[in-house]
Structure 1
Amino acid sequence: MNDHQLSIKTDSLLETVSSSIHHNRYEATPYEGLEVLSELYPLRRYNGLVDYGCGKGRVSFYFHHRFGLNVTGVEMNPRLYQEALQNQASYLAKRKLGRGSLQFEHAFAEKYEVNEEQDVFYFFNPFSVQIFAAVMNRIAVSLEQKERDAVVILYYPTVEYIHHLEEKTAFMLVRQIPIPGLVENNNNERFVIFEYKT
């Protein structure tokens, strides 16, 4: 899979999202990583994915196309949000929507209201652990309001994110998936998966 096949444009150099110390630079998850994740941990049993700090939307489009999930990309940067909308128009112009909805929200992640159909939460280090904690609190409230299984997927995980999930939430570490060809140079080139079971 690549940008051309999805009719989108997400390749770019690292981009500064905000001058705040709480928001990290934008960088898209590599397609080779998404392919490995999808083969080893398919998301067919889930309903809806939230891509936090979605940037131009690569992960959102990939999982919508691959698994037909209902996908919501959440992005606080107005320029990246507009590029995600442009990609959405191009993506939908080449295919029927078919399974699953696809939308983008211009919002701060910690203010985004998780809905009861969403059960997959994806993070590629978009912000500080303080914001991550606030986001996980919102997810926890939603899971209390409507009990359901859920999964958190971290790409290139930070120690702080992992520690927070292990110490402060009911999510349990279930899998670590290294990306062959990339992990040899950097142990952080991996997915770490936490599940919440009802």
Structure 2
Amino acid sequence: MNEDSWDRLLKIRTSGRDDTGSDQYKYPYEPTPYSVLERLGNSGEIGKKNTVLDYGCGKGRVDFFLSYQTGCRSVGIEYNERFYQAALRNQEKAVSSGKISFIQQDAAVYQVPAQVDRCFFFNPFCLEILKQAMARIMESWYENQREIRLYFYYPSQEYEAYLNGLDELQHRETIRCMDLFPGNDQREKF
């Protein structure tokens, strides 16, 4: 199915890039392609017992899709008022909306709930904010130790260098997505 077909099935509107409110710290809204979300959803990494925290959720595509596909709960965090309101509008009609909540807050200060055990990032912000968000994830883990898996789609070299330098993290596996698009872009992965 293509992007519009998935949006219609899920009864949401998430297509199209939007640069509203973006700057050198917080990046534009660009929805994760559904083909990539299908790859993650079918990986067995996320299921009914999991709660996903979607950083920079935008209009909520990741949240709606993963809740529909895997049965997981999802929390979308978004700093941009316009995108947050679009996510709430989508939630009014969306399939699986009962398992999803949205919060308008800056990821740098958001306190990660104890039930969160999966985190999703599609380059939502600069490295400095990522470091602060990672500190909040680590605080949550220290308060309630559990396995937390982090998924970074299309990671920047900055993100990868930083994450590879964290002793607290262990690289589990790479989910490749290069075959989903033309070319041989090595960043097409989780």
Checking the alignment, whether the CA contact within 8 Å between 2:27 and 2:125 is kept in structure 1 is: yes
Q: 1:30-88 CA deviation, whole Å, 9 max, x = no partner?
A: 00011112223431275211000000000010111112222110001100000000000
> Shift of the alpha carbon at 1:19?
4.6
State yes or no: 1:187 paired with 2:186: yes
- In structure 2, the residue matched to 1:108 is 106
Q: In structure 1, what is the Cα distance between the partners aligned to 2:176 and 2:101?
A: 29
Question: How high is the TM-score relative to the length of structure 2?
Answer: 0.90
State yes or no: 1:157 paired with 2:155: yes
For 1:32, what is the secondary structure of its paired residue? Answer: helix
Checking the alignment, whether the CA contact within 8 Å between 2:64 and 2:97 is kept in structure 1 is: no
State how 1:165-184 maps to structure 2 within 5 Å: 165-179=163-177, 180-182=179-181, 184=183
For 2:152, what is the secondary structure of its paired residue? Answer: strand
- In structure 2, the residue matched to 1:10 is 14
Q: 1:146-181 CA deviation, whole Å, 9 max, x = no partner?
A: 110010000110111122222124111111122223
For 2:28, what is the secondary structure of its paired residue? Answer: coil
For 1:25, what is the secondary structure of its paired residue? Answer: coil
State yes or no: 1:64 paired with 2:63: no
- In structure 1, the residue matched to 2:123 is 125
> Shift of the alpha carbon at 1:96?
7.8
For 2:14, what is the secondary structure of its paired residue? Answer: coil
Work out which of the residue numbers 88, 92, 103 in structure 2 matches 1:89: 92
Question: How high is the TM-score relative to the length of structure 1?
Answer: 0.87
Checking the alignment, whether the CA contact within 8 Å between 2:60 and 2:87 is kept in structure 1 is: yes
Q: Give the strand-richer structure, 1 or 2.
A: 1
For 1:168, what is the secondary structure of its paired residue? Answer: coil
What are structure 2's unaligned runs of at least 5 residues?
Answer: none
Root-mean-square deviation (Å): 1.8
Name the amino acid aligned to 1:6: L
Work out which of the residue numbers 137, 140, 154 in structure 1 matches 2:135: 137
State yes or no: 1:21 paired with 2:28: no
Checking the alignment, whether the CA contact within 8 Å between 1:17 and 1:23 is kept in structure 2 is: no
Distance 1:54 1:169, change over 3 A: farther
For 1:173, what is the secondary structure of its paired residue? Answer: coil
* Count of aligned residue pairs for this structure pair: 185
Checking the alignment, whether the CA contact within 8 Å between 2:22 and 2:28 is kept in structure 1 is: no
Checking the alignment, whether the CA contact within 8 Å between 2:48 and 2:73 is kept in structure 1 is: no
Name the amino acid aligned to 2:118: V
Greater mean deviation of Cα atoms: 53-62 or 178-187: 178-187
Distance 1:36 1:96, change over 3 A: closer
